[in-house]
Structures are given as structure tokens and as C-alpha cells.
Structure 1
Amino acid sequence: MEGREPSTRPSRTTPASPRVNPALVKRPRFQTLARFWEGQDVLARWTDGLLYLGIIKKVDSAQETCLVRFEDNSQFSVLWKDIFPPAVPGKEQLCCVCNSQACTPDNKLVHCGKCKHAYHQECHVPSVPCDTDSAGSSWMCRQCVFAVATKRGGALKKGPFARSMLQMKLSLPYQLKSLEWDPLHLTNKQQCYCYCGGPGEWNMKMLQCCRCLQWFHEACTQCLSKPLLYGDRFYVYECSVCTRGPENAWRLPLGWVDVSHLVLYHLSICCKKKYFDFEREILSFVNENWESLLLGELTDTPRTDRYSHLLHALTAEKDRFTLCGRRRLKKKRRCCFDSRAGLLPS
């Protein structure tokens, strides 16, 4: 299993973690009842939308969180809604959402062929078709489809899992209108984002739908031609819920100032430092990732001309960029820049 990207980890300070209203997120009821225990192996959804294997070290019923130790020995507090335990032996005939075994002809129990959890047809999101074989092994629940299809750089686009994911994405596993947002619509108290309903960090690798304004993980989207850079908001994006079908994403035109700012912000997140050498780091990154930057009209710029365009953008925009201390422009090989106050590209 791939390690989590350090830049996307939340603060280790967890006492202020908000409590989640169970009505807003359709999660298995046994989790709401705090049926977690120390030493339990679980999958936990991270802020990048991906699932990671961990072991519960401590259960906090008051905050509705668990302290989870991951495979790299890091430990973080995770909300119950983002923790997925394996099926409990002896509970195969209980719906993992409503915790009931009662069935009707139109609302039978179906079992996921991968995780073995049972769901009432109407408890699962989206509802399970009536012709699904309740004892069959081919049907997969929403969580398992996302576990297989989500990837860094963008979810699967082809194959049966990609098609299943698209169908799952036509509906959200929570009530979007019930989320409590900050004034800028960047974060919500429930820490509930994307199609997966997991946590997220809007200023990392996420896209905001221009219609519903919800934020979506790169890993859960199926419309990107290239991986996102950190802080890359130069897209117009429409989610599957709003389009009632495949997502749409359009690249906005970028200028040289935008390119410089985007690269500096991305490097600052990846490298966790402030200043970057112009030739050795900034220019080198741009040249090595030229095709992935999707620069539109700038794409045809000769490699020999990129140096002057980038350097001019960095030195002319003093409100955005700062030149490192005493370094002088005449020593161009030693020019180091940063984006002022870590401002996001816009």
C-alpha cells in the first residue's frame, strides 16, 4: 500500500475535532454505536480521498473519533464516519446501516461480494437494483467500489469498476444542504466532502464544483487528463451529481505569473521549505513537467524562451513573490524566490 503524502496530513492536535451529526452521513449504524475497539484493524479515509490500513489505538466516544496508527507508524485522530472495519462474524444477516435483519420483498438484504457487509437495498446509496442476487458474489458496495477505483492522479476511467463508480457518483451518501460551511464555502464543520463523504483540504488536490460548490478529491474524479498540482484552481469543474452523468473539467488559460505562482506553491507543499532556486528548482520543474501543466496557448513556447518569461514574472510581481534576502539578480544562478505569505495561486 502506498504511503500517504505528508503534505496532506492534518494537525496532530485533535481535541477540537467536531462531532458529526449521524443524520448527515449515511454510515453503518454499528459505527454510530461506537462498536470499535483497541487493536481493531480498519481502513481509514484520509484527506486525499484514499483509504489506508490502520490499527485503532484509542476510542473517544465523546468526540466520535478513534486514534489510528497507520502502516508508517504515524498516529492521527480519525472521525468515526471515515473508519471502515471489516464485517463482524455472526452479523452477516444484519444490515450494516440500520442494524436490522427485517426484510420485505422490495427491500431485501444483499451482501457485498468483497467486504461481505450486508445492506438493505434501500439503505445503500444508491439503492441496490431489485434484480440483484441477494446471495450472489458479484455485487460490490459503494465503499468497495471506491476503494478499488480511486487513485492518485485521478480515478479509473475505463473498465467495470470505473462504470460502477460513475453510477455510485450520481448520488451523495450525505445531505449536501445540511452541511455547515464557513463564509467562503471552503470548509464545513462535518468534514464531509466529495462523492466519498470523507475529509478533505480544499487548498490541496481538490476541485470545487461551479454549480453545487462542493469540493471533490482528485483521487475520486474521472475527468482529469493530468494529475493536479497542489493549489491548482485553474479549472471549471462540474460534478456528476450536477450533470447527472460524467463529470466535466475545463482548463482555464494561464499566464506566466500564474505558472510561476502555481509552481512555487506546489513546490512549497511538496518540499516543505520557503525559498526555491530559480534555475535548479523552479525552471527545472517547469521544463520537466511542461506537458502536465496544460498551459494552453503557452504550450508552444520554446524551451529557450521559458527562462526569460518565468524570471520576468517572478521579479515584476513584487506583490506576489519575494527575492531571497541578499541574493542579487546579476547572480541569476543563485536567485531564490517564494510566494508571499504562502498565498494560493488565483
Structure 2
Amino acid sequence: MTMTPQATMTAEQASAFQETFARLVANVEQVLLGKTFVVRLGFVALLSEGHLLLEDFPGTGKTSLARAIAQSVAGTSNRIQFTPDLLPGDITGVSVYDQRSGQFDFHRGPVFSNILLADEINRASPKTQAALLEVMEEGRVTVDGITHPVDPPFLVIATQNPIEQAGTYRLPEAQLDRFLLKASIGYPDHASTLRILEGAGVKAHETEVAAVITAATVLDMARQARTVHVDPSVNDYVSRLVDATRSVTEVRLGVSVRGALALLRAAKTLAAASGRHYVVPDDVKALAEPVLAHRLVLDPEAEFDGVTASSIVSQLLLETAPPSDRQAV
């Protein structure tokens, strides 16, 4: 059976996509002041059907970001505080025997939501961390041999504290690779801090934003983002960039094909968010560090010398020439 290829996004659709995306970002910025880039990354992850890893200090607004994104798309949100004693069933849910019916009833865990905030994910054991692998990749949970689908859209926003490493379990490369993007919110600038202090009488969990679109619209926008045109020269640029990560002396393990696909998928969404129905090299450059850096495994000696994955990606962007022209769409 032959499959009908999807039609490429039109310029009119890209313009409408940009307008809706801008309204979503502005809506969340009512809560997370002065952090436009991170908010945009959050929605890029959502509309690319990926997940977001935030490595940041406590009190920078990670929970507020997750709640505001969920409210903006009229979705549900749950928060899980990861601790060493957290069990996989505490995330996915458990089957409980009902004596009256003589059957096992599945009690859904907090993972069954549109936006899941996995707070301090590296504090839980590897077995508990792995409970998220299936649902992040396939959008479903299997308990006692029975599969339970998670209603889309589904976005995991996981956080980890870069300072306190005692009693934590480093995320394995297989799990890091499941996150489309990794970013940091950081502290607000002076002007944003003043605005936050002016509203100090309102607690963060009491702040709500109005819904901008519905969950169904999110799915429609995600489908549209997949149809953004990618010129062969841009595909070649992404391939050369990913290949370059595998030959750097300080890198023990470079970016996989999954990472290359992730970069292209995110670039499509960013292009549509910018009002274009085609990807340009600048889309790839803007997302290279958030998409690729956390997928690199550095040589221990290089890490000891202060080399970072972000600096390597930045250097590769300087050394890898982007395409100079684009074929007509």
C-alpha cells in the first residue's frame, strides 16, 4: 500500500502558525518574566512532540513554566518530586485487586497528564528514571503486561540541580537522548526582578493564565510543523554538523542519528514559529546547542580540564560552513 505524502506547509499556514505561537509565548511570559528564549524552547519541544530538560538552580520558575504551558493549551499538568525512595509505580500507576469484581483495576499515576514536571529527576534511582523511558518515547505505559496510552499532547519537563550532586543518580545517555532539548532558565534580569517583587503578594501557584488554544489545536500545529520544507542543502548541513561531533578529540561519544532527527524536527517547528514554511541554516544554528550538547559524552580528562559540551557545539558551528543558498520551494 502506498502512502500519500503530506503536503508542504504553505506561506499562509506559516503566518497563522507564527501568530498563534507568539500568543502562546506572550501568555506564558505573564508568569515567567524576561525569559522569552526558554519559553519559546518549551513550546518548540511541545509542538515537535519532544521533551525538555531544564538544568537549573531552585527557585528559577521551573514549576511555573510547566503550569503556564499546560494552562495555555487547556491541558492538565502534574508534578512529581523525585526522591531516592520513589518507585516506578508511583509514576506510572499500579494495578489494584478489587475484591468485589475479582479483577485488577489500574489506578493511573501522575504521568497521565498533558504536561508532566519531573522535578529533580536525577534524585531517583535508575530503575525509577527508566519508568519514564517508554512513555517519553512511545506515549504509553505498560503495567502488568497491559498497555495504557497517554492522551496527547504529552510533554515532560524534567529538572535537575547542577550544584547538589550528593545522593543523585546521573541520567544515563539513553535517557538524555530522549530529551529533545536541554536548557536553563537562569535568574531574571534587574527589570524583571523588580516586576516580580511588585507582585510579591501573589503566590506562584495562585497565578493562572488563560487558555490560548485547545489540546486539539496543539496536535494540529504539531502535524503542520512536520510539513515544513527542508532543502537538501540544509539536510546536508545537519549531517555534516552531527558527523563533526564524532571526530572531536575531547568527545568520547558523538551525536546519534536520533540527535540529527531531533535537530531537524525542532528546526522545522522554529521555522514555522518564525513565520516561514521552510527551514534556513539559522534555525539549525539557533537550536544546535540546546538539541545537541546534552547528547555528547565527553572524555573524562577533557571534563576535568573544563571543556564543556556547549563550547564544543559552539566551536563546531564556527567550523562547519552552512549552505550559502536555498533551492526554490
The two structures share one fold, judged by TM-score above 0.5? no
Q: Greater Rg, structure 1 or structure 2?
A: 1
Q: TM-score, normalised by structure 2?
A: 0.25
Query: Which one has the bigger helix percentage?
Result: 2
Q: TM-score, normalised by structure 1?
A: 0.24
Q: Which has the higher contact order (CA 8 A, sep 6+)?
A: 2
